[in-house]
Structure 1
C-alpha cells in the first residue's frame, strides 16, 4: 500500500486554509502513468504528487484528469515535506529554500499551465463572483492595495477536474507576477496566502506556508 501524506499549502498567517495536496512518497511503487492518473482521480485533490526519488527530489504531478509538467502548490508542498534543495520536474529543475515559516521555490512563467488572468476593479467584485460555467481556467483578481502589491484573487478551474474553485494556485500567481513584473502578496480563496518575487533572467520565486493535514478521501 502506498504511503500518502496530505499537506495544506499556502496557509494563511494563522495557519488555517491552504490548498490540500496529496503526496505519494513511494511513487516508484506505482510506475504506470495510467495507474497514477486513476489514483489522482480517486483522491480528488487539485493535484497529487508521486515522488519517484526522494533524495534527488524527482516528482511527477497529476490533477484528477491530467499530468502536469509543473505546478506551483505541489512544488512548494513537496519541497517543504521532503526538505530538499531542489525538485526535478518534467518542466525543469525547481530550486527550493526554507526561510522561517515560508518555503520558496523558483520557476519560470513558461512552465505554468495556461490560465486566463481576469482583472476586476474592486475586491468586492472578486468576492461576489459565482463559479463560472465550465470552460477556461480563470484567475480572477483585483488590487487590495496596489502600492503595497497586495492582491485579492480567486481561482476557477472550469470544473474540468470536478473542482469548482481552487483554494490556492501557485502557477496562476506565477503568471500574474510575470505579467505585472513585481512582487505580490496574494490572498486567495477563503484566506490562503501566496508570496511572489521576480528574480533575474526570468526566474520567479513563489513562497508560502505548509502544514500537514488530516487525510480525507474527498480531497480539499
Structure 2
C-alpha cells in the first residue's frame, strides 16, 4: 500500500525586487491530517518557517495560520501568500471571516480591517537612515519605526521593533498596515533591509496590503502523513 503524503510549499512573501528579504511562509496543502492545535504547532515547529498555513478546504479557501510557539496568528503576509499560491479570491479565516484577495503576476494582495493587526506604537524618525540603523529587535515596547524617504510619492522606510518583532524572521505587513491607516494614504514601504510592502486605505477602516510572492520549487516538500 503506497504511503500517503502531504505536500508543503514554501513561499517568500513581501520580497524586494530581487526576491530577497521576504518572510517565509509554509503552506500545507491538505491540513486535514493535522486536525488539532497540538499537531499543527508541532508541524509548524518542524518546518521552521515564521508562519505555516494549513489549508482545510481549498475550494472554499478555508485556512488556518499558525506561528510556532504562539498558536493561531494570521499575519497579513501569510494570507497574501496562501491566496496567491491557491489562486483564490476569498479566504475563510477563523476569527476574521472572509478575507478578499487578488493577485497579478508575482504580486498578491488581501483586504483586511486595520483594527485586526496587533497594536504597535508608531515612532516617526526624521531620517530613513536612522530607521535602517536600528537593531532588528529590542526588549522594549512593540512599535513600528518609520520615516519618509519621499513624502510626496508616499514612500516610507519602516522597521518592526520590540517584543515579538525579532523571532518572526521577516516582514509581516502588520506595522505597515497600521501606518497606512494612521496616515490615511497609500504607501510604498521598504522594510529594512529590503522588503517591499504596498498599502492603500479603503472604506470602513479596511486596508489593502500586498507585495511580491516567490515560490521556490526547491523548497517543495512531501511529508508522510501522521
**TM-score, structure 2 normalization:** 0.86
Indicate the residue corresponding to 1:198 in structure 2. 201
Q: Which runs of 5+ in 2 are unaligned?
A: 222-226
Q: Does 1:180 align with 2:178?
A: no
Q: Distance in 1 between matches of 2:82 and 2:130?
A: 33
Indicate the residue corresponding to 1:106 in structure 2. 111
Q: Deviations over 1:120-143 (max 9, x none)?
A: 221111111123433543322111
Q: Does 1:55 align with 2:59?
A: yes
1:67 pairs with 65, 71, 75, which one? 71
Q: Distance in 2 between matches of 1:215 and 1:161?
A: 25
Q: Does 1:151 align with 2:156?
A: yes
State the Cα distance separating 1:14 from its structure 2 match: 3.0
Where in structure 2 are the equivalents of 1:26-175 lying within 5 Å?
Answer: 26-68=30-72, 70-90=74-94, 91-134=96-139, 136-156=141-161, 158=163, 160=164, 163=167, 166-175=169-178
Q: Distance in 2 between matches of 1:23 and 1:157?
A: 27
Two-structure CA RMSD over aligned residues (Å) = 2.2
Q: Which has the larger radius of gyration?
A: 2
- Alpha carbons 1:157, 1:166 under 8 Å: kept: no
- Alpha carbons 2:76, 2:174 under 8 Å: kept: yes
State the Cα distance separating 1:166 from its structure 2 match: 4.2
Q: Deviations over 1:110-163 (max 9, x none)?
A: 1112233222221111111123433543322111111111011122463x5871
Q: Distance in 2 between matches of 1:98 and 1:172?
A: 22
**TM-score, structure 1 normalization:** 0.88
Q: Distance in 1 between matches of 2:19 and 2:165?
A: 26
Distance change in 2, residues 1:191/1:131 (3 Å): closer
Aligned residues: 215
- Secondary structure (helix, strand or coil) at the match of 1:168 reads coil
State the Cα distance separating 1:100 from its structure 2 match: 4.1
1:21 pairs with 8, 21, 25, which one? 25
- Secondary structure (helix, strand or coil) at the match of 1:36 reads helix
State the Cα distance separating 1:73 from its structure 2 match: 0.2
